[in-house]
């Protein structure tokens, strides 16, 4: 049974949803934004960042706040960093909530979410929707970003299957952002995975890859957070094809998923669905456990940037 309660969480008016295993806090005051996620009343695994803001030339700063948010790519500040400082419209649904943001007057884009807890499992399903309520066509890619507390280990699995019958064609691609140093002690590139140790002392890194396997994961304090989304083979993905991405600095780590590029005509919408799962230490999925437990990153040195 899903219980829904109005409450204050991290200083924001929120609705708390719980199924007895996991609890999430969704703010109604701004957003859409999920600010909290706990397993059996343990510590919040999401990052809380009340003072983090991003500058936007000629516009209001973007308040990051932490938790889970929806952006859209490509990352262009005037479009991507649109302030979400107003209350959202909230309606109850079976085992969850629907959240609808005000339409952005500059772009005509409206964000809405459907959030649903599983009745028996430690699982959340989020359907993110971007709707074009403007008067012109708009090209974008849904971009769902989950900020988590630093201190753990994140993994993106890499494809190992061959793309051709002879095994002669390239089958993996790793994408790096300009501020990422390959010699960072917090970054590990291996045959089957990309690993990021969220213990950066200064600077930042970001890495991504096309991810037909569909999941990426983060271990923290013995718990495992997994988020999954469908990969559409043959679709056009931005960021050099990196459908899964990890950003990390000293304060938090982000697990990010991109949807394919779409050209939204007026009154058209696109959905981007994620499934979240949380597992205790003795119950990790085997495919994730193998990649996490064989990670050997030495985080003791500072990155130089």
Query: What pLDDT, in 10s, does the model give residues 224-244?
Result: 999 999 999 999 999 999 999
Region for residue 66 given its phi and psi (left: phi exceeds 0; alpha: psi -120 to 50; beta: otherwise): left
C-alpha distance from residue 303 to each of 81, 149, 182, 190, 218 (Å): 27, 19, 10, 20, 21
pLDDT classification of 290: cutoffs 50, 70, 90: confident
pLDDT, one tens digit per residue, over 136-194 is: 999 999 999 999 999 999 999 999 888 888 889 999 999 999 999 999 999 999 999 99
Given a cut of 50, is residue 39 above it in pLDDT? Answer: yes
Q: What is the pLDDT of residue 296?
A: 53
Given a cut of 70, is residue 297 above it in pLDDT? Answer: no
pLDDT, one tens digit per residue, over 85-129 is: 999 999 999 999 999 999 999 899 999 999 999 999 999 999 999
Examine residue 299 and state whether it is found in any structural domain, yes or no.
Answer: no
Rounded average pLDDT over 11-15: 97
Given a cut of 50, is residue 303 above it in pLDDT? Answer: no
According to DSSP H, which parts of the chain are helical? Answer: 77-80, 286-293
Number of domains making up the chain: 1
Domain extent for 235? 3-293
Examine residue 298 and state whether it is found in any structural domain, yes or no.
Answer: no
Q: What is the mean pLDDT of the chain?
A: 94
**17 with 26: CB under 8 angstroms?**
yes
Given a cut of 50, is residue 304 above it in pLDDT? Answer: no
pLDDT classification of 59: cutoffs 50, 70, 90: confident
Rounded average pLDDT over 252-263: 98
Q: What is the pLDDT of residue 41?
A: 86
Q: How far apart are CA 258 and CA 16, in angstroms?
A: 27
Examine residue 235 and state whether it is found in any structural domain, yes or no.
Answer: yes
Examine residue 300 and state whether it is found in any structural domain, yes or no.
Answer: no
Examine residue 302 and state whether it is found in any structural domain, yes or no.
Answer: no
3-state secondary structure of 282: helix
What's the token pair of residue 209? 């890859």
C-alpha distance from residue 174 to each of 127, 156, 159, 286 (Å): 27, 10, 11, 24
Given a cut of 50, is residue 75 above it in pLDDT? Answer: yes
Examine residue 50 and state whether it is found in any structural domain, yes or no.
Answer: yes
What are residue 197's DSSP bridge partners?
Answer: 153
Nearby residues of 241 by Cβ (< 8 Å), 6 or more positions away: 173, 175, 209, 210
C-alpha distance from residue 250 to each of 155, 175, 197, 292 (Å): 17, 21, 11, 21
Rounded average pLDDT over 258-285: 96
For position 266, which CATH number holds? 2.70.98.10
Examine residue 301 and state whether it is found in any structural domain, yes or no.
Answer: no
Identify which of 177, 183, 207 has the alpha carbon closest to the alpha carbon of residue 193.
207
As a whole number of Å, the end-to-end CA separation of the chain is 49
Residue with tokens 């940037």: 305
């Amino acid at each position: 049974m899903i219980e829904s309660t109005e409450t204050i969480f991290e200083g924001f008016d929120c609705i708390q949803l719980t199924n007895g295993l996991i609890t999430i806090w969704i703010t109604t005051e701004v957003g859409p934004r999920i600010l909290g996620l706990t397993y059996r009343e343990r510590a919040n695994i999401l990052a809380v960042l009340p003072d983090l803001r991003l500058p936007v030339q000629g516009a209001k700063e973007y308040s990051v706040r932490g938790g889970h948010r929806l952006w859209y790519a490509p990352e262009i500040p005037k479009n991507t960093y649109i302030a979400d400082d107003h209350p959202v419209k909230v309606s109850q649904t079976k085992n969850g909530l629907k959240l609808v943001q005000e339409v952005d007057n500059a772009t005509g884009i409206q964000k809405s979410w459907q959030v649903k807890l599983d009745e028996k499992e430690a699982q959340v399903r989020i359907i993110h929707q971007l709707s074009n309520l403007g008067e012109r066509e708009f090209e974008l890619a849904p971009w769902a970003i989950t900020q988590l507390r630093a201190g753990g280990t994140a993994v993106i699995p890499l494809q190992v299957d061959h793309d051709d019958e002879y095994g002669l064609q390239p089958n993996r691609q790793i994408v790096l952002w300009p501020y990422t140093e390959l010699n960072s002690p917090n970054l590990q590139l291996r045959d089957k995975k990309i690993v990021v140790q969220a213990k950066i002392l200064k600077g930042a890194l970001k890495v991504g890859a096309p991810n037909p396997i569909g999941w990426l994961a983060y271990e923290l304090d013995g718990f495992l957070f997994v988020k999954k989304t469908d990969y559409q083979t043959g679709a056009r993905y931005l960021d050099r094809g990196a459908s899964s991405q990890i950003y990390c600095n000293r304060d938090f780590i982000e697990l990010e998923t991109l949807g394919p590029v779409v050209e939204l005509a007026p009154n058209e919408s696109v959905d981007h669905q994620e499934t979240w799962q949380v597992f205790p230490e003795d119950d990790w999925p085997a495919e994730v456990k193998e990649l996490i437990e064989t990670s050997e990153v030495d985080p003791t040195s500072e990155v130089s940037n």
